[in-house]
């Protein structure tokens, strides 16, 4: 590239001399010089051939061809940091974050004072889940060029990602001071509006039984995150079984512990009428790990719970474990296993296993709405809250559901399943719920 630039400069000097010598009058010389200057300026503004090729390949998601063109250019000009920065950007777009990080670090060894390179490295760190490193890189970028609103906005987002919301707000405002028309800064300030702390959910469910009249249930729940550490949940349910209506009230508290995860404990009391538990107690420990965007697995969540049910004529203890694997593009896959210990009056206790698997996937989405779906399969003994299902049969259940978030703080979920039981009995289940976040 250095040779090409020197050749261009030599040609430019020759052209100026030719124009001056060829013009017969000063006015003509001035006109020719002006035309030549405008033409060369326009030519310099046009992208070079390799840039056009790279952009064409990137628009077609042909990352290998784009990288090949860039590597050919780098072979001719190994010290050209612009080419190397282009290669790093294409590596990011293609998802090769580790290689992109190495490329940006290599560029910084040559040119450590380029704010765009620091910003590019910060983008890689953010996509890898290294939020603190991303913030440090953007600190350096803003230090190098404090008059760029886009850098301030990027730094503000990085502050938001590490939980520094007050500092993030101030940085977005600083970006607007530099550029009052910054769309990024205004969108960032909107994103810092107080996030919903509570979810109110209303639901209704029906079991259509092949051997009896249908069972119905209606419920309402309210979950609130009061602080970063504490949250609570309360709920009320009414259940109709064979013409009998029973009610249940549930309450729980959750501690979000940095080292352990989310620890929940609670209980329930019911006006049981022999069809639901008289009382319940439970605890649950949930722990998650974020892997970052550079891996095929974005995250892992493990959950363990114990639940005690006391009926008038039976005592049930369930031990359950669930593993959820999170994939790119909002996909997830979960496996759950449950062991249930049933003890009936006048009989001994026995353990029975059950298990389930679920796949969650996106269907459609926009900035204001999102539709997702799920399918699942379960086998064993499920739903220990109903008297007709306490350790008395084996079953296989097939089902699925949809969740539609049609506004920022509103969503509707529906689920359906078909359960085949022993003695050739079936249960068709339908449920609908509406959630409000505030």
Q: Is residue 302 part of a domain?
A: yes
The arithmetic mean of pLDDT across residues 378-402, rounded, is: 69
pLDDT of residue 294: 62
Dump pLDDT digits (tens) for 209-244: 998 899 999 999 999 999 989 999 999 999 998 889
The arithmetic mean of pLDDT across residues 384-401, rounded, is: 67
Containing domain of residue 7, as a range?
1-42
Q: Which of 7-11, 81-85, 150-154, 368-372 has the lowest mean pLDDT?
A: 7-11
Q: Which CATH number goes with the domain that contains 213?
A: 2.40.160.40
The arithmetic mean of pLDDT across residues 399-408, rounded, is: 94
Name the pTM for this structure.
0.64
Q: Is residue 332 part of a domain?
A: yes
Name the helix (H) or strand (E) containing 406: strand 395-407
Dump pLDDT digits (tens) for 118-151: 999 999 999 988 999 999 999 999 999 999 999 9
Q: Is residue 143 part of a domain?
A: no
Dump pLDDT digits (tens) for 15-58: 433 333 444 444 444 454 454 444 454 444 444 688 899 999 99
Residues contacting 154, CB < 8 A, separation 6+: 119, 122, 123, 138, 141, 184
Question: What is the tally of structural domains in the chain?
Answer: 2
Q: Is residue 177 part of a domain?
A: no
Name the helix (H) or strand (E) containing 434: strand 426-437
Q: Is residue 72 part of a domain?
A: no
Name the helix (H) or strand (E) containing 419: strand 410-421
Choosing from 42, 58, 73, the residue where a domain stops is: 42
Confidence bin at 109 (pLDDT 50/70/90)? very high
Confidence bin at 364 (pLDDT 50/70/90)? very high
Dump pLDDT digits (tens) for 267-310: 999 999 888 999 999 999 999 998 876 678 889 999 999 999 99
């Amino acid at each position: 590239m250095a040779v090409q630039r020197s050749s261009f400069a030599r040609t430019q000097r020759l052209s100026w001399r030719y124009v001056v010598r060829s013009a017969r009058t000063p006015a003509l010389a001035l006109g020719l010089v002006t035309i030549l200057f405008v033409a060369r300026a326009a030519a310099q503004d046009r992208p070079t051939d390799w840039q056009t090729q790279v952009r064409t390949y990137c628009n077609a998601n042909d990352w290998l061809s784009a990288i090949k063109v860039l590597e050919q250019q780098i072979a001719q000009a190994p010290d050209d940091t612009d080419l190397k920065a282009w290669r790093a950007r294409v590596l990011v777009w293609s998802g090769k974050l580790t290689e992109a990080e190495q490329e940006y670090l290599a560029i910084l060894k040559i040119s450590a004072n380029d704010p765009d390179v620091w910003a590019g490295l910060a983008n890689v760190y953010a996509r890898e889940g290294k939020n603190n490193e991303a913030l440090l890189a953007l600190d350096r970028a803003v230090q190098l060029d404090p008059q760029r609103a886009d850098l301030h906005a990027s730094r503000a987002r990085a502050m938001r990602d590490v939980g520094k919301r007050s500092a993030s707000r101030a940085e977005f405002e600083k970006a607007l001071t530099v550029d009052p028309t910054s769309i990024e800064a205004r969108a960032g300030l909107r994103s810092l509006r107080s996030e919903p702390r509570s979810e109110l959910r209303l639901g209704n469910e029906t079991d259509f039984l092949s051997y009896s009249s249908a069972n119905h249930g209606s419920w309402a729940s309210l979950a609130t995150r009061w602080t970063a550490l504490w949250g609570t949940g309360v709920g009320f349910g009414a259940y109709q079984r064979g013409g009998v209506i029973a009610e249940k009230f549930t309450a729980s508290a959750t501690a979000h512990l940095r080292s352990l995860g989310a620890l929940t404990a609670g209980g329930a009391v019911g006006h049981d009428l022999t069809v639901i538990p008289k009382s319940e107690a439970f605890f649950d420990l949930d722990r998650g790990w974020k892997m970052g965007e550079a891996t095929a697995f974005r995250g892992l969540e493990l959950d363990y719970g114990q639940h005690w049910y006391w009926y008038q004529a039976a005592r049930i203890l369930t031990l359950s474990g669930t593993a959820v694997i999170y994939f790119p593009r909002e996909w997830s896959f979960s496996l759950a296993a449950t062991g249930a210990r049933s003890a009936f009056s006048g009989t001994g206790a026995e353990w029975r296993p059950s298990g389930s698997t679920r796949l969650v996937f996106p269907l459609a989405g926009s900035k204001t709405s999102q539709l997702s779906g799920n399918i699942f399969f379960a086998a064993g003994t499920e739903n220990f809250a109903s008297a007709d299902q306490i350790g008395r049969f084996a079953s296989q259940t097939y089902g699925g559901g949809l969740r539609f978030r049609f506004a920022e703080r509103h969503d509707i979920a529906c689920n359906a399943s078909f359960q085949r039981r022993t003695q050739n009995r079936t249960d068709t289940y339908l449920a609908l719920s509406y959630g409000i976040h505030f």
